[in-house]
Structure 1
Amino acid sequence: MALFYVEGLPIGWIAIMLAVLASMGGFIFGYDTGQISDILLMEDFRIRFANYCGTPGDANTCSFTVVREGLIVALLSIGTLAGALIGAPVADWLGRRYAMTVECGVFMVGVLIQITAFHSWVQFAIGRLISGLGVGSLSAAVPMYQAETAPPQIRGTLTATYQLFITFGILVAYCISIGAREIGGSGSWRTVVGIGLAWPLILGIGILFMPESPRWLIAHGRHDDARRSIARTRGVPIEEADHHRFVHRELEEMQSAIEFESKEKVGWVECFNPRRKSLYRTLLCMTLQMFQQLTGANYFFYYGATIFQSVGISDSFVTQIILGAVNFVCTFGGMYVMERFGRRYPLIIGGVWQSIWLFVFAAAGTARDPTTDKGIGKLMIVSACLFIFGYAMTWAPGIWILIGETFPTRTRARQAALATASNWLWNFLLAFFTPFITKAIGYRYGFIFAACNLTGAVIVYFFLYESSDLSLESVDMMYCDPTCKPWTSRTWAPEGFSSRKELVEQSRAAEAHKPLEAGGGEESRYEHHAAEKTV
């Protein structure tokens, strides 16, 4: 039975559950991202792993070189880069669900290596590298699974839960860290890292009870399983799946697209084929993932505790929690924004907004010394929070939504892997080189990020197509339509519809068994198309 209706179409509770459960992959990444900033400041961690300790056992005299600090933070990103590329063939081979279970196991191995480190920072860093393999693979599989399984009417919202859970993971890591720092000895940082074993257990086991991607099932000849998968997400009883018109229509649309795509041999080279704008879409999403990192968000998430400590905040742990809370709460708004206003406008406006507040942050820190001028320090914190506000509402969820819905089925896994790998490559570069850059130019680093945000907004305007309200197959048709341009794509609709608005209205009418007068109704068009196929 349907849980509720969106635009007149049924949505089952399974659709919500699979999005939430799969998004634990984002939570795992967020938790791992958020914990390292605070762990680097924990006394026992510095005593065990820092380069220099003037007085043995005195954490106040222990410090990391920029190389060691950068490697401890950034090796996770090297693992995620490799994992994102490995994740594509694994997800195609095992299926989306089993791939996620295996990847959770890899992440847990990395966590065990970290918590068993005693005095070797190299062991701890290698543990983060192996955990990164699992995180990177999940980052390719999860948005793809959500986009392929979620009903089109709420695909943006459900796919955005991945980013929501990233922010939730960051916030939870901050909260656990502020409590664990009072634990004596190595229990402080081992507790924070060890709790990370719980999240992959939830995802790895729970996802096995969710339906497999219907598109993956069809591609592997399992049409009956695909029909049941669609029925479960739509809240349609399994015994009615064979005759339900919307299940039948979605299944037929997927079959047609996959049959067409299967006529050609698919490999990594196909991702760079100019035909059907495959190369265009690969480069576009790789670029957008790069600019998501160049927004500067992870500058605050990886090194936030150190940044706020440098502007004179006595308890940087608390400030981190405030920043994490802003990020988490505003992502709820981001889910609404991306569903209500589409993809292009929020990303353009968000890029401009983020640029403004990064400019304020950098200008304030450059003009005055925030350690002696408390007013400047507070202005920098406020501007950082307002930057995160804009990021969480736009670029944070928006880019992950696009990764799930921009590519055609036949190459989606590989193209999503390449785009995600771009994210992790720039994640690594920023995580590793940030200590060197901030040491050389200080808060002027913010000017660089401000310029990158403006550049990202320009790229979205000239190159990104509006994919909201469309099925994944229709998105593919839109990119291949030579008459459609990115700046006119908001009004594009599949053949037989005069506008995007008419598409939504016809869908509502079809569900209510009342075909609209204009155009004859989607239901009648579907029936006519089915009759032609029969003949």
Structure 2
Amino acid sequence: MLERIKNDPLYQDLNWRLALIGIVSSLGAMGFGFDNGWWAGALGLSEFQRKYGSYDEKLGRYALPSEKTSVGTGTGSAGIILGCIIAPIVTSKLGRKKSFLVMSALMMTGVTLEASAVTSYWQLVVGRIIVYSGIGLASNCVPMYLSETSPGRIRGAFLALYSFFNSFGVFMASVVVYLSKNRTDKWQYLIVIICQLFVPVGYLTFYAFLPESPRYLVYKGRFDEAEKVLRLLSNHPERVPQEIQLLKAQVEEQRELHTASTIADCFRGTNLRRTIIAMSVQILQQAQGVSFIQNFIVTFMQQLGFPDALRTNVIVTGCSFAVHIITFVTFDKIGRRRSLSWGSIGMAGTMLGTGIATATGTPPNYTSTVANASAAMLILWYCIYGFSWGPGCWVVAAEVGTGQLRERTLFLASMGSFVTSVPINFVNPYVQRSLGGAVTFIYGGFSVVAIIWVWFMIPETKNRSLEELDEMFQADVKTRQFKHHVCTGLGAHITQLEGDLNAEKSGTKQVEHEEAWVEENQPAQK
């Protein structure tokens, strides 16, 4: 058993520096999850409903009108779109590391507006837009940074950090909201809002420990800086000079043979396929119901007749967070395609099952059996999502873009996700009020679509360097042949160099082979 652990890529390639930058850089994902979670919970807080809502004679209590729920939730997605628009400019001009400072400034400004919105609901909405613009920037920068700093063999585990911390943020928000539910003063929801400051404060505290992305430095021609960063991050520093030479040669080859620098280039040639893949996984993640679960689970449970919907929300988000832990292993072990396919099957079954169960009644007259069965299936849905589409869409989207267009590919992918979430967040309150539990049939139907889409369109990218994926896409390798395709170019040599854990035992033979290959295949200098 001990020998198997020592031979595991996580044991061999991970070190404390990689772990630190993975955790710190993923704080933006936690902020995303926390803001989604606190909003979903705040919609069910009595003080929040009294302050910003109106008295509902039918319910016999204060409640937030559907139009305010719709606008408040939907404008958050609009803020994310704004953040996605500025992301390619910020990440390419300032670099990945400085983007975390911009992110922190936006989030601190937005949280301040939210916390000071004593009576104005619309000030709260503006604050959410600004916070979510920082989150939109994070949704581009964090996966990109993780993919560019992690060794290829553990990239799936590293990218799973984004979804893990997103889930952790949702869970923590649900706990904080639940603990605040019995308060009857203004601090009931202010405590929840102020907790969001943990993210920008965390970035500012650990900023000095974050290196710039080594691949970003290579793309900018700063090779000496890139080598220093790779030496800090690698468990095999003796191989770094050869890796830098291979990365340099690959960048020059791409610029000479596959020049691309604009958004329009994302839709040309083989880049079109990569853009479709990145956007589709993000769109299908939203279409399968994650916005519904994260933003409207509390109101849905109240509609089902649960006496303590906030406690049920803690259980739902807690189970999902716990399941996320296994994604540090699954995506690099069983692969991307299987994780997404199996996830869609399970998510389709649980959403459709909820719709069938609630078809026996009408809101708010569901029986306790129906309510309990629905809650159980939604908990199971969130667990399945946690080890499949939750991290999966970010893993795939961050991997498939070529180095020259990675910022723009992730921008388009994120835009696809959040443009999809906007109509869901605006329309769902009305549809949910009208259809009750039958609203889950819509999301279950999209999971069926996702099963088919993954089978025909999503390639297997595990255990491949980012440069190797460049070669495969440019060679137009068929979707189901990715797993077994043998690469022979620069990407293959980078993968071989990253995975050769016995380099010291093989002496200089391997190093001499790599240097000779680079010299022989180096593109002619202009």
Deviation at 1:506, TM superposition (A): 9.8
Q: Structure 1: how far apart are the matches of 2:331 and 2:422?
A: 27
| Cα contact 1:510–1:522 (8 A) shared by 2 | no
Q: Deviations over 1:502-522 (max 9, x none)?
A: x7799346435349xxxxx96
2:282 to 289, 297, 305: 289
Q: Does 1:429 align with 2:407?
A: no
Q: Structure 1: how far apart are the matches of 2:47 and 2:361?
A: 34
The DSSP-based 3-state class of the residue aligned with 2:261 is: coil
Q: Does 1:373 align with 2:370?
A: no
Q: Structure 1: how far apart are the matches of 2:33 and 2:13?
A: 32
Aligned to 1:507: 499
Greater shift, 185-194 or 361-370, is seen at 361-370
Greater shift, 456-465 or 256-265, is seen at 256-265
1:345 to 338, 342, 348: 338
Change (3 A) 1:404 1:522: farther
Deviation at 1:60, TM superposition (A): 5.0
Aligned to 2:267: 272
1:46 to 30, 49, 70: 49
Aligned to 1:37: 40
| Cα contact 1:344–1:464 (8 A) shared by 2 | yes
Q: Does 1:257 align with 2:277?
A: no
Change (3 A) 1:270 1:477: same
Q: Structure 2: how far apart are the matches of 1:149 and 1:16?
A: 11
Q: Structure 1: how far apart are the matches of 2:431 and 2:315?
A: 25
Deviation at 1:109, TM superposition (A): 0.5
Aligned to 1:150: 150
The DSSP-based 3-state class of the residue aligned with 1:367 is: coil
Change (3 A) 1:217 1:505: closer
Unaligned runs of at least 5 residues, structure 1: 516-520
| Amino acid of the structure 2 residue aligned with 1:271 | C
The DSSP-based 3-state class of the residue aligned with 1:470 is: coil
TM-score with structure 1 setting the length: 0.90
| Cα contact 1:335–1:397 (8 A) shared by 2 | no
Q: Does 1:453 align with 2:432?
A: no
Q: Does 1:409 align with 2:403?
A: yes
1:363 to 336, 356, 367: 356
Aligned to 1:518: none
The share of aligned pairs that are identical, in percent, is: 23
Q: Structure 1: how far apart are the matches of 2:188 and 2:399?
A: 41
| Cα contact 1:160–1:398 (8 A) shared by 2 | yes
Deviation at 1:24, TM superposition (A): 0.6
Q: Does 1:313 align with 2:306?
A: yes
Q: Structure 1: how far apart are the matches of 2:132 and 2:497?
A: 45
| Cα contact 2:55–2:62 (8 A) shared by 1 | yes
TM-score with structure 2 setting the length: 0.92
Deviation at 1:197, TM superposition (A): 1.0
Aligned to 1:492: 485
Deviation at 1:199, TM superposition (A): 1.6
Q: Map of 1:44-123 to 2, 5 A cutoff?
A: 44-50=47-53, 52-53=54-55, 61-123=61-123
Q: Structure 2: how far apart are the matches of 1:83 and 1:62?
A: 34
Deviation at 1:9, TM superposition (A): 5.5
Q: Structure 1: how far apart are the matches of 2:240 and 2:497?
A: 19
Deviation at 1:204, TM superposition (A): 3.6
Greater shift, 87-96 or 506-515, is seen at 506-515
Deviation at 1:525, TM superposition (A): 4.0
The DSSP-based 3-state class of the residue aligned with 1:118 is: coil
Change (3 A) 1:533 1:419: closer
Aligned to 1:532: 520
The DSSP-based 3-state class of the residue aligned with 2:273 is: helix
The DSSP-based 3-state class of the residue aligned with 1:511 is: coil
Deviation at 1:465, TM superposition (A): 1.5
Task: Count how many residue pairs are aligned between Structure 1 and Structure 2.
Answer: 512
Q: Does 1:395 align with 2:395?
A: no
Deviation at 1:318, TM superposition (A): 0.7
